[in-house]
Amino acid sequence: MALPKIMGILNVTPDSFSDGGQFDSTASACSQAEALVISGAEIIDIGGESTRPFADPVTEQEELQRVIPAIRAVRASSSVSISIDTTKAEVARQALLAGADIINDISALQKDPDMLALVQETSVPIIIMHMQGTPGDMQLQPQYEDVVTDILNFFRKRLAWLADNGVDVGRITLDPGIGFGKTLQHNLSILKHLSEFKSLGCSLLLGHSRKRFIGDITELEVMDRDLPTAVVAALTSSAVDIVRVHNVAATSSALQMVSAIDQAV
């Protein structure tokens, strides 16, 4: 059984829901990236705009000022894969020039019409996510006929659109968007049926780390949710290819246990 890769989260923002302001200097961002890699991260996901519920958008220039120095610093000190977490084509373009390897677009290339051209010009892997609404309104009243079926249909349409525009779907990783326009029960249904998304023929990313649904179940505060985050990663490890987490060490230990049990005779 192949274990999922661990993507370590590096938010160079002042207002992210979990670690806002902790790594918003180049030195602290580089130090945190090094710690994530030592703990077992194979990908560092760098974002300069908070996508927490009700977050305010930031300008392109502000986002560039946050992420580009961090990407350059991480690339100068490590060969780890770097993904740029952005919906803005110019931010993604400059990030790739600075050393990023992957584009992670939570809008699934819908927010910025120039993102498609950038994807067509490059051959880098792309992560597209499902989100109902926007960060500003997604948690007001999310509704689905059937959350898993609806997300599957969304991805089918996006993949067909990408293929029609000459993008090799083999480059695409799908993220069902835990917490992005979903209730507690929606999130649990997605987790229970993750294997159904593999029918689309793409790799799958799970981004559940420290999110509200974990707090709703456990009554733990945000910074105390790493244990249940690691448990979810372990329980879903056979269905996903990448897990995106804040505490890489905890998730790495959980996945090591999964591997040991799987290899036992």
pLDDT at 140 over 90: no
The reported pTM is 0.93
Q: Where exactly are the structural domains of the chain?
A: 5-260
Pair of tokens at residue 203:
């790799």
Planar angle of CA 108, 117, 124, nearest 5 degrees: 70
**54/4 Cα distance (integer angstroms):** 30
Tell me what pLDDT residue 142 has.
86
Least Cα distance to 29 among 15, 56, 48 occurs for 48
pLDDT at 128 over 90: yes
Within 10 angstroms of residue 146's Cβ, the number of other Cβ atoms is 11
**53/140 Cα distance (integer angstroms):** 9
Q: 233-264: per-residue pLDDT in tens?
A: 999 999 999 999 999 999 999 999 999 999 99
Least Cα distance to 216 among 253, 251, 178 occurs for 178
Kindly provide the b/e burial profile for residues 191-218, where b requires at least 16 CB atoms within 10 angstroms of the residue's own CB.
bebbeebeebebbbbbbbbbbbbbbeee
Planar angle of CA 174, 53, 58, nearest 5 degrees: 90
Tell me what pLDDT residue 57 has.
82
Residues with active-site annotation = 211, 244
CB of 263 within 8 A of CB of 256? no
CATH superfamily of 5-260: Dihydropteroate synthase-like (3.20.20.20)
Residue in this structure with the two tokens 């689905």, named with its chain if needed: 144
Q: 145-189: per-residue pLDDT in tens?
A: 999 999 999 999 999 999 999 999 999 999 999 999 999 999 999
Q: Which residues contact 97 (CB under 8 A, 6 or more apart)?
A: none
Pair of tokens at residue 78:
């490590």
Which residue type is seen at 125?
P
Tell me what pLDDT residue 141 has.
79
pLDDT at 224 over 60: yes
**205/244 Cα distance (integer angstroms):** 7
**138/259 Cα distance (integer angstroms):** 36
